[in-house]
Copies of this chain bind each other. A is one copy, B any other.
């Protein structure tokens, strides 16, 4: 009985995070209400505070979930990390990062620090996988990581606006050459 209740609880949490991720990507964080999320997930609205405290708690769960997906790409077992990252960019859900960024940079945005933590975790994940030999002479691992994470963010932006103008496979090849010197 206890096990079944835990399963149901975890399942409803998972459904709420998935619904919130879709709605945040579609309408933004601010414009999305608990009612929207509960309706989409098919779960009672009252369970959101129970799981996540408040809307920022739910956002953090969504970002953690996305981050987990990206960082899994850097696991040794997951296959080529660059392929994983390029596949991630192509997911409809990845649009979330662009939508939320606009809100994160607003003055006094409550989601800025959550976003800063996400970027920091991404940089940490990438930096752990960069061989020291890949660094151009006289540059720091930190700068190289900011540049690589930045390149992925900015290539994603260009591709999402005009997919026909951005050859993701060619960019992948170039990134590979930059990292595997």
| Measured CA separation A139–B170 after assembly (Å) | 7
Given A101-B102, A116-B165: A146 and B140 interface contact (C-beta under 8 Å):
no
Contact B161 A112 (CB under 8 A): yes
| Measured CA separation A104–B120 after assembly (Å) | 26
Query: A56 in the interface, Cβ–Cβ < 8 Å?
Result: no
Contact B174 A136 (CB under 8 A): yes
Residues of chain A from 52 to 103 with CB closer than 8 A to chain B in the complex: 95, 98-99, 101-103
A21 vs chain B, min Cβ distance (A): 15
List, in ascending order, chain B residues with CB within 8 A of A106's CB. 26
Residues of chain A from 122 to 179 with CB closer than 8 A to chain B in the complex: 123, 136-140, 142-144, 146-147, 149-158, 160-162, 165-167, 170-171, 173-175, 177-178
A154 vs chain B, min Cβ distance (A): 3
Given A173-B138, A174-B136: A147 and B151 interface contact (C-beta under 8 Å):
yes
Given A152-B150, A154-B157, A155-B150: A162 and B101 interface contact (C-beta under 8 Å):
no
Given A138-B177, A173-B138, A173-B143: A162 and B116 interface contact (C-beta under 8 Å):
yes
Cβ-closest chain B residue relative to A159:
B146
Query: A119 in the interface, Cβ–Cβ < 8 Å?
Result: yes
Contact A177 B147 (CB under 8 A): no
Q: List 7 A-B contacts (CB under 8 A).
A: A98-B101, A138-B177, A140-B170, A143-B170, A147-B151, A150-B152, A152-B154
